[in-house]
């Protein structure tokens, strides 16, 4: 049973460019959340997708957008990259109807903006 998979694992982009990160949830999960983890900090919630819609959003600008596909996989898009967007981006999946459960995380995508 494959867990949460993310691609790519590493990425280097230039300021002002756009980037797309991808996530496939754990089998049986229907909800995908994205987190940004800056160096030395805990993960910060970006947004959550369920039934192909953004359901909740954290304190991130509109440059951060996403999408969920019918097979529950998801993309995170970041436009007009800034140096401060350099971070580890984590995808987590869970099963929406089950409240008392944990989220499973992927290994992350390390984004470096130069």
Catalog residues that contact another protein under the rule CB under 8 A. Answer: 4, 6, 31, 33, 35, 40-45, 48, 50, 55-56, 58, 90, 92, 94, 96, 98-108
**Comparison of 19 and 23: residue with beta carbon closer to another protein:** 23
In whole angstroms, the minimum distance from the beta carbon of 41 to another protein comes to: 6
In whole angstroms, the minimum distance from the beta carbon of 81 to another protein comes to: 22
**Comparison of 39 and 83: residue with beta carbon closer to another protein:** 39
**In this structure, are residues 47 and 26 in contact, taking their beta carbons and an 8 Å threshold?**
no
Cα 44 from Cα 110, distance rounded (Å): 15
Q: How many CA atoms within 13 Å lie on the side-chain side of 43?
A: 18
- Per-residue tokens: 1: 């049973």
In whole angstroms, the minimum distance from the beta carbon of 27 to another protein comes to: 16
Cα 40 from Cα 51, distance rounded (Å): 33
């Amino acid at each position: 049973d494959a867990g949460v998979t993310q691609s790519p694992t590493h990425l280097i982009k230039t300021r002002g460019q756009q980037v797309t990160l991808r996530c496939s949830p754990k089998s049986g999960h229907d909800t995908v959340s994205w987190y940004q983890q800056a160096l030395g900090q805990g993960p910060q919630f970006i947004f959550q997708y369920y039934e192909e819609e953004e359901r909740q959003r954290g304190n991130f600008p509109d440059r951060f957008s996403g999408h969920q596909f019918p097979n529950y996989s998801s993309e995170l898009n970041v436009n007009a990259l800034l140096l401060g967007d350099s971070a580890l981006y984590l995808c987590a999946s869970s099963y929406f109807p089950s409240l008392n459960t944990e989220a499973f995380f992927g290994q992350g995508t390390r984004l470096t903006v130069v």
